Amino acid sequence: MTSFVPLTTVFPGLVWLMAALALLQGLRRAALWRVGAAAPVAWLDGLAKLPKRYLVDVHHVVARDAYASRMHAVVAGGLLAASILTALAILPPLAGFRPYWFVVALAFGVTAIGSLLVGARRYPAKQKRLSAGRFQILPFLLVAYAVGGTITALLLALRIDGLFAPLALALAAAGGLGLAFEVRHGPMRHAAAGALHLVAHPRPGRFEGRPDTALQPLDLDAPRLGSEMPADFTWNRLLSYDACVSCGRCETACPAFAAGQPLNPKKLVQDLVAGLSPAEPAYAGAPYPGGRAAQGERGALARLIGPDARIHPDTLWSCTTCRACVEECPMMIEHVDAVVSLRRHQTLERGALPEKAVGPVTELRQSGDPGGRPLSARTDFAAGIELPVMSERGGAEILLWLGEGAYDLRYGRSLRALIRLLREAQVDFAVLGAEERDTGDLARRLGDEATFQDLARENIATLAQYRFARIVTADPHALHALRNEYPALGGRFTVIHHTAFLLELIRAGKLNPGRLPDLSVTYHDPCYLARYNGETEAPRAVLDAIGVTRSEMTRSGKRAMCCGGGGGAPVSDIPGERRIPDLRMAQAAETGAGIVAVACPSCTAMLEGVTGRQAEIRDIAELLLQAVEAGR
Amino acid sequence: MKIAVLLSAGRHPVSGAAVLPRMEAQAIRLAAGLGEAIGLHAGPDAAAVREALGLGLARIEHVAIPEGGDPVPALIARLAALAPDLVLAGRRGQGGAESGIVPYALADALDLLLIPDVIAVTSGDGAGTLTLDQSLGRGALRRVSLRGPVLATVHPDAPPPLAYAYGRARRGSIDGLGSAPTLTAGPDMAVEERPYRRRPKLVKGAPTGGSAAERLKAATGESGSAAKGRLLVEPDPEEAAREILAYLRQIGVLAASSGASSDASTPTP
Amino acid sequence: MTRLRRDPRAERTAIQVAGAARPRYDRTARRSSSGSGRPRRDPRAERAGQRVVGEARPRFDLSQVIRVEGPVIADTQPRATTAPAPPKILIVEDPAFLVAVVPDAPGGRLSAHDRQVLGAARALAGREGAVALLTLGACEGPGPAGADRWIRLDDGTEAYDPAGRAARIAAALNGLKPRHILFPESLDGGDLARRVAVRMGEPLFTNAEVVAANGLVRPAKGRRVEQRIAPGLLTTVAPDAVADYAGPPREARPVAVETEAASPAKLRILAAARVPADPATVPLALAEFVASAGNGITDLDTFRTLVAALRATPGASRVLCDAGLMPRHTQVGASGTVLAATCYFALGISGAPQHLQGVAGCEHVVAVNTDLHAAMIERAGLAIVQDAQIVMPALLRLLAQETGETP
């Protein structure tokens, strides 16, 4: 019976050894994060909130894939429980307590079941969005550790001696040490880095239930603008990229990837990870569409972007900044921030904007409009309808921000509908007219922070001259800039989207729409309204108020697919195999709705531009006006 | 190769904001591929050309002259001292009189060869030689090989300007060279200014001597060769082809085939 | 007193219309009795000539121009000539001053712009002046275009030597001593004008949009203001701003001008060669003639053959570019290239708004489309409602036939 004493020590000792190895591997990796720039992190607050962030916020995302959620709960929970319980068995009272070992065996058993679930996603055939490489070994390591652990624990519980014990222990050791080793470069890195990332997340507001989506202003006096190499990112961003578990949910959600443009958010994050260290194993997931194979230099000081570097500039400019990848990421990684940071360096330091975007950004800088059109022509769409102008009125209850869409012939119709509704409801409103400049959204997404800040300051100064309670705009891009991004530059305004404002008017009884039950409508959520501002309900409530038959697309609300019109993607115009709006209209066609309701000038323009579409594109304001006229 | 790019204080054609004229921005791009380039500006305020730093120039020399003064003597003096191999300028200014005379005055005073309307510059085969592509409009070129030094003016068909990079503008420097003695030459012509009035463009093919009504008729296509909206519904393909070729020849985009001289009666404008 | 005394009373009696109760006068008749040599314009008579007969209310057909005005200068011939006689050539025998025009005259033919400059020169010359055309080498039809005098300098060498050319022209102009000198504000003409201005040390008024004896007007400061000035020595005339000379042909009397021998030019230009635009490769934005394929075209090989045969630049609608059937840089439209072509030939393109934005600047549009209600058919100067797929081979056959006839 003497051989049991060593086993009860050796088995927990194995777990302690695993922990030590994992710590060592983790520290080796963590040393690399130190090259990153400093970042303010509320450590204590983050640590205190870690369980909630993990169990609520992360779980909320993970649970969208029920299988993955169950699998992860079983395998991660089991692994953690079994390992901790075993580690605690180093204490003699527990080690000698047989029922305790039954509990341990149970925990390992659960892990084993979870490991089989993990394996089932990869064998016989791997799911398309998952990465291969080291991830393909993961189920074996898990099974070895779990099965080895189960048997060892059972042997200890049943006090059975024999040759079996060393074999089982060896199996558990192989699996367990393998897992611990993988903390540096392999799949298990996501667990360590992920937990730390939740503590030191660069956007803690995300976990407080508010959309923390505003780009942080760039200090234009900083020695280097934007990110050129891994060392230019802050350390907690480097850490966040290490949290990537290569699950590929982002790649499934990415509109540019779906359109065959050379962007895959997973590969982008993995390139940021790999760029940090030459020792990183080869990427084994789906490549950037277009099949580019350039490797480039690696290292904290190696250039990331370039035709010969790891990331081709076209990859960077394909992004529509729609945040679909961020919304889907179970590890809470901020892909769009990375893209914008890299773009900022390209634009501000190197002047390396895509050729087609140079014109619009130059015009934005020189004339305050990306099309170089006279600012006074912004109100031309309203020829024939009375449009009160702030400079003549000095103030109004509502300031109507027209945005760039006002120059567009098609979108002018939507704005005219909105203005007629405001008149109908006797709203006291006025526009800035020729004093309104572009919000600078386009410049900012394309990395030209200097132009954005100039435009923002000019707009803030203009707005400061007038009295108004709220700003209403039909352009979610303008809304996001005014509401979320101008405060950092000193402009605090209450900004409300026209759909929310129209709903208010309906609820207050100022608009009495009739019902249009004959219309079948599906609503396309603008990214900058739904994902950036979390507003998905007001437009739907307006549609319900006018009694249309409303159906939902497969991807809707905060998980809707982008129209392809954001982030300067239309002006960069990176070639792909398909067009994003075509894909989106195909999704809309699946609902069979005759009308696609929109609430954004970019979406209107992009979806209207789809050739051979069956459905009509109508702004919510246009539909509501029709209902109001029908109700008279 | 030593290159000087002449910079002027321009105005945006729509917004009227102070900008670097587009053709000078294009000149900077042409210079960027060739060698060390500096900017040269003579004017009251160097801030007007700071933008050029962000477009790729590392250094700008600024000669201060009073408002409204003639920049030519100051530029002549500085260019004579610099002795660049290549001087680039926009073919016209932007926002002033837009007469485009300054490069000619400089070339004449400095005895430089002047090649106008250049869209590309490359180093030639021999030492000190350059090859310049001069725009003749509509994509046609004249390729000129020459021995420098040369002053070239840039045509709008040259490659578009590089993007402005804030960081580059921050790094570049503007060196003030003090103020130059200059003639207080006001405008050399007594011009009277008033707001621009857009005038109707001549309509091609309209009878020029006729009355207003005749011209209107021609412009709106009620009669004559400029008839608009000729419509053939479901014609025989051969007939359609004949109609198309005749139309293309009539407007002069397709060379008349000498074989089909029978329909040479169609006038060519 | 050598001059006859006028007797207004007698004149009036002579033109009184007989038979009317109230005294009425036929003022058109006065012309013949006019004793002075100089004809006068009679607006009243012109007006009467425009009157539409048989209407109760007086109505006037303004398109009728009755040129009562006689030849302006030294009209030695009796006015009442038989109508269809060969066009009479106007001669200015002894002009008070000269207005010189230096045209581009590419290939020895006056360009449309050159003719406009001659029209402008005529406006400056008025009755007393004469228009002098100054060309290097031959020039077709200077008289009908409005030149009273023609100074033809030797062609010189073929080599590209703009400075040498400017020197010779400046020397000739110095010999000619015109009151005004006009150039077209074209690539070559504008260059020449500035060189001549610097050589002569005279100010140059560039890009005049209005040319009249009482003033020249040009846009300035990005077309926000216009500048007016009394006509000076040197002026360039903007394209399509001034009408051609439309009167009867003029004499274009050859004149010789003594010029100093041109100073030997320093040969710094080593070589110059024209590279004509290749329609197949010229950037779409610069192309003169664009043939474009849309959704209605399935056989792109035939399309490409046709484009080459027409010597057009290939374009395409967005759908074809998205599908990868045509290269992206050929895309026409708001998100592709905005054209400045003289002619746009749209094959199988219905004309989405974004596409039409790209062809807004095209002077002529030819459209072939099966849909009668397509926007492109509406836009076209020549619209053919037919399947472009069968029109293309027909065009190719016709072109081949034509070239077959000319060996």
Q: Does the distance separating the beta carbons of B14 and A358 come in below 8 Å?
A: no
- Give the pLDDT confidence score for residue A1 in this predicted structure: 40
- Residue C126: Cβ within 10 Å count: 14
Using CB atoms, pick whichever of A348, A368, A374 lies closest to residue B167. A348
Can you say whether the dihedral through the CA atoms of A604, A606, A607, A608 is positive or negative? positive
Chain C residues with CB under 8 Å of A578 CB are 322
A497 and A600 both lie in a single domain: no
Instruction: Tell me the residues of chain B between 238 and 257 that have a Cβ less than 8 Å away from chain C.
Output: 238, 240-245, 247-248, 251-255, 257
The pLDDT of residue C53: 65
The reported pLDDT for the residue numbered C81 is 45
Closest chain B residue to C347 measured between Cα atoms?
B244
Residues A54, A213: contact at Cβ < 8 Å?
A: no
Q: Taking CB atoms and an 8 Å limit, are C295 and A579 in contact across chains?
A: no
**CB contact at 8 A, C340 and C360:** no
| C-alpha pair distances (Å), A392 with each of A420, A433, C223 | 20, 10, 28
Terminal Cα-to-Cα distance of chain C (whole angstroms): 77
Q: Give every strand in the sheet of A470-473, ordered side by side.
A: A429-431, A398-401, A470-473, A495-497
Same domain, A36 and A145: yes
Q: Distance between CA A283 and CA A287 in Å, rounded?
A: 9
Most confident of the ranges B186-200, B202-216, C320-334:
C320-334
Could you tell me if A30 and A172 lie in one domain? Answer: yes
A97 and A121 fall within a common domain? yes
CA distance C77 to chain A (A): 59
CB contact under 8 A, C272 and B98: no
Per-residue confidence band for C35, with pLDDT thresholds at 50, 70 and 90: very low
Residues 6+ apart with CB under 8 A from A371: A360, A363, A404, A407
> Of A16-20, A24-28, B64-68, C4-8, which gets the smallest average pLDDT?
C4-8
For C318, the closest chain A residue by CA position comes to A611
Q: Which 124-143 residues of chain C touch chain B by CB within 8 A? A: none
Domain boundary among A287, A316, A349: A349
What CATH number corresponds to the domain at position A231? 1.10.1060
| A262, A145: one domain | no
Is pLDDT above 60 for A504? yes
* Domain, as residue range, for A326: 223-349
From chain C residues 241-260, the ones with a CB under 8 A of any chain B CB are: 241-244, 246-247
Calculate how close chain B gets to C47, using CA atoms only, in Å. Answer: 13
> Closest to B237 (Cβ–Cβ): which among C224, C273, C394?
C394
CA distances in angstroms from B57 to A344, B11, B72, listed in the order given? 20, 20, 22
CA atoms of C156 and C161, how far apart (whole Å): 10
Query: Nearest by CB to C335, which of A409, A573, A577?
Result: A573
- The answer to whether residue B268 scores a pLDDT higher than 70 is no
C271 in contact with chain B, both atoms CB, cutoff 8 A: yes
Question: Residue B228 pLDDT > 80, yes or no?
Answer: no
How large is the average pLDDT for residues A322-336?
Answer: 94
How close does chain A come to B169, measured CA to CA in Å? 9
Contact: C319, A611; criterion CB under 8 Å = yes
In this predicted structure, the answer to whether residue A583 has a pLDDT above a threshold of 50 is yes
Structural fold of domain B2-179? Rossmann fold (3.40.50)
- Listed in order, strand segments (DSSP E) in chain B are 2-7, 10-11, 18-19, 36-43, 59-64, 86-90, 113-123, 129-135, 141-147, 150-154, 173-179, 192-195, 230-233
Distance separating alpha carbons of residues C51 and A560, to the nearest angstrom:
72
pLDDT of residue C403: 81
Report the residue of chain A nearest B11, measured CA to CA.
A366
Residues of A in contact with B168 (CB under 8 A): 349, 351
**Number of separate domains in chain A:** 4
User: Is C338:C305 a contact under the CB 8 Å cutoff?
Assistant: no
Do residue A192 and residue A235 come from a single domain? Answer: no
ipTM score for this prediction: 0.84
CA distance A509 to A62: 42
In this prediction, what percent of chain B has a pLDDT beyond 90?
A: 43
- Same domain? A63 vs A34: yes
Q: Which is nearest to A464 in space by CA: A514, A364, A395?
A: A395
pLDDT tens figures, C199-222? 999 999 999 999 998 899 999 888
For residues C129-156, give the mean pLDDT.
Answer: 87
Gap between the Cα atoms of A514 and A517, Å rounded: 10
Q: Out of A457, A479, A506, pick the residue that ends a domain.
A: A506
* Delimiting residues of CATH 3.40.50.620 domain(s) in chain B: 2-179
Among the listed residues C237, C309, C315, C310, the one whose alpha carbon sits nearest the alpha carbon of residue C283: C315
Q: What is the bridge-based pairing of β-strands C24-25 and C16-17?
A: antiparallel
Least confident of A295-299, A430-434, B105-109, C79-83: C79-83
Tell me whether residues B163 and A372 touch, CB distance under 8 A.
Answer: no
Mean pLDDT calculated for residue range A159-168: 82
- Buried/exposed C297-313: b ≥16 CB within 10 Å, e otherwise: beeeebbebbbebbebb
Whole-number Å distance between alpha carbons of C357 and C339: 9
Question: Is residue A285 domain-resident?
Answer: yes
State the amino acid at position C296 in one-letter form. G
Same domain, A538 and A604: yes
Domains in chain C: ranges and CATH: 10-70 (no CATH), 98-255 (3.40.50.620), 284-405 (3.40.50.1220)
Task: Closest CB to C366: pick one of B95, B129, B247.
Answer: B247
Query: C residues 162-201 near A, CB within 8 Å?
Result: none
C-beta separation of B118 from B31 below 8 A: no
B193 and C226 within 8 Å at the Cβ level: the answer is yes
Of B140, B143, B259, the CB nearest to C406: B259
Distance from CA of B237 to the nearest CA of C (A): 5
Q: How far apart are CA C251 and CA A551, in angstroms?
A: 81
Note whether A169 and A240 are same-domain residues: no
Amino acid at C292: S
Give the dihedral sign, CA C144/C146/C151/C155: negative
38-67 in chain B: CB under 8 A from chain C: none
Helix A335-344 to helix A265-276 angle, to the nearest 10 degrees? Answer: 70
Same-domain status, A180 and A324: no
Q: Tell me, yes or no, whether A61 and A164 share the same domain.
A: yes
Give the integer Cα–Cα distance in Å for A190 and A69.
Answer: 16
pLDDT at residue number C265: 57
Question: Which class for C8: exposed (0-12), middle (13-18), buried (19 or more C-beta within 10 A)?
Answer: exposed
Q: Is pLDDT above 90 for A331?
A: yes
Distance of alpha carbon A516 from alpha carbon A616, whole angstroms? 15
Q: How far apart are CA C40 and CA C33, in angstroms?
A: 12
Say what the pTM is.
0.86
Contact at 8 Å (CB) between A193 and A239? yes
> What Rg, from alpha-carbon coordinates, does chain C have?
29
User: C15 falls in which pLDDT band (50, 70, 90)?
Assistant: confident
Q: Which residue has the tokens 């020895």?
A: C108
- Chain A CB contacts of C319 below 8 Å: 611
CB pairs < 8 Å spanning A and C: 17
Contacts of C32 (CB under 8 A, 6+ apart): none
Distance of CA C333 to the CA centre of its chain: 30
pLDDT score at A220: 92
Residue A501 has a pLDDT of: 96
Output the pLDDT for position B225. Answer: 39
pLDDT band of residue C25 (cuts 50, 70, 90) is: confident
A66 contact partners, CB below 8 Å, separation of at least 6: none
Task: Name every chain C residue with its beta carbon within 8 A of the beta carbon of A573.
Answer: 335
- Residue B104: enclosing H or E segment and its boundaries? helix B102-110
| pLDDT-based confidence at residue C44 (cuts at 50, 70, 90) | confident
The answer to whether residue A295 scores a pLDDT higher than 80 is no
Residue C398 to residue C309: CA distance in whole angstroms? 11
Q: Over the stretch B15-68, which tens digit does the pLDDT of each residue have?
A: 888 899 999 999 999 998 888 899 999 988 888 899 999 998 999 999 998 887
With contacts defined as CB-CB under 8 Å, which chain B residues touch A365? 164
**Residue in B17, B160, B163 nearest the CB of A351:** B163
Q: Which of A525-529, C47-51, C101-105, C183-187 has the lowest mean pLDDT?
A: C47-51
Q: Which two tokens stand for residue C255?
A: 């004149």
Are B60 and B80 within 8 A, CB to CB? Answer: no
pLDDT at residue C17 in the model: 74
Q: How far is C19 from chain A (nearest CA, A)?
A: 59
Rounded CA-CA distance B47/B42 in Å is 12
pLDDT digits (tens, 9 = 90+) for B115-141: 999 999 998 877 788 999 999 988 899
User: What is the least distance, in Å, from the CA of B203 to any CA of chain C?
Assistant: 8
Between CA A229 and CA A234, with CA A233 as vertex, the angle to 5 degrees is 150
Question: Which residues lie closer than 8 Å to C349 by C-beta, 6 or more apart?
Answer: C292, C293, C294, C295, C296, C317, C355, C367, C369, C374, C376
User: Is the Cβ pair A573, C318 closer than 8 Å?
Assistant: no
B168 to chain A, any CB pair closer than 8 A? The answer is yes
Of residues B202 and B155, the one with the higher pLDDT is B155
CATH number at residue A39: 1.20.950
